Amino acid sequence: MVAGIAAGIAGCDRQSGGDKQPPEASASKPSPAAPNAEGAALDRSHKGAQLPTLTFKDAAGKEINTASLKGKPLLINLWATWCGPCIAELPALNKLAAGGKIRVLTVSQDSESAKAKVAAFLKARGGDALEPWLDPEGTAATQWQVGTLPASIYYDAQGREVWRINGGKDWAGAEAAALLAEQ
């Protein structure tokens, strides 16, 4: 029972099986799993690992390859429209992206059937500076061995992993600023 509660606080389970899309989480009611230091697990065990080469698409089919993203610190955030803690992170992630000091790559783990709504979903929740990249097959989650959303992986400008966080994080706080200053 304690493990189940901890998983609920830390984040959303990965969507399992089929192309069935869970209902969107409501941004109007607060989530009991709002991002906080207690709900996020910091992992430095992959420090120094090279950024894997992965390709993501937007709803129109435009592609981005992670190999093209070196040269600036990069925060990759795996999220979904049905994940309350993911949604709670969006405004602070948007502010980070708009600041321009680091590149924020938000990669939706929503199913193929939901891909058309991801861009509008981001915009409606204050994500104007966030690009709506899609990974409906879960390639990124498999690559980074992610079992819970949200998940964020931070790379330095040379494409070396610095750390990763599983679960919601207060990206506007002092602790996050200190983490993002690491190289």
Cis peptide bond upstream of 132, omega within 30: no
Full-model pTM: 0.81
Give me the CATH number covering residue 82: 3.40.30.10
Between 141 and 11, residue with greater pLDDT: 141
- Domain assignment present for 24: no
- Domain assignment present for 84: yes
- Domain assignment present for 42: yes
- Domain assignment present for 58: yes
Band of residue 11 on the pLDDT scale cut at 50, 70, 90:
low
Q: Strand 151-155's sheet: what is its strand order?
A: 41-43, 161-166, 151-155, 74-79, 103-108, 133-134, 55-57, 63-65
Domain that includes residue 121, residue range: 2-11+38-180
For residue 80, the 8-state DSSP code is -
Is residue 26 packed enough to be buried (19+ CB in 10 Å), middle (13-18) or exposed (0-12)?
A: exposed
- Domain assignment present for 153: yes
Band of residue 13 on the pLDDT scale cut at 50, 70, 90:
low
pLDDT of residue 147: 86
What total number of domains does the chain contain? 1
Q: Residues 96-143: pLDDT tens digits?
A: 999 999 999 999 999 988 888 999 999 899 889 999 999 989 999 999
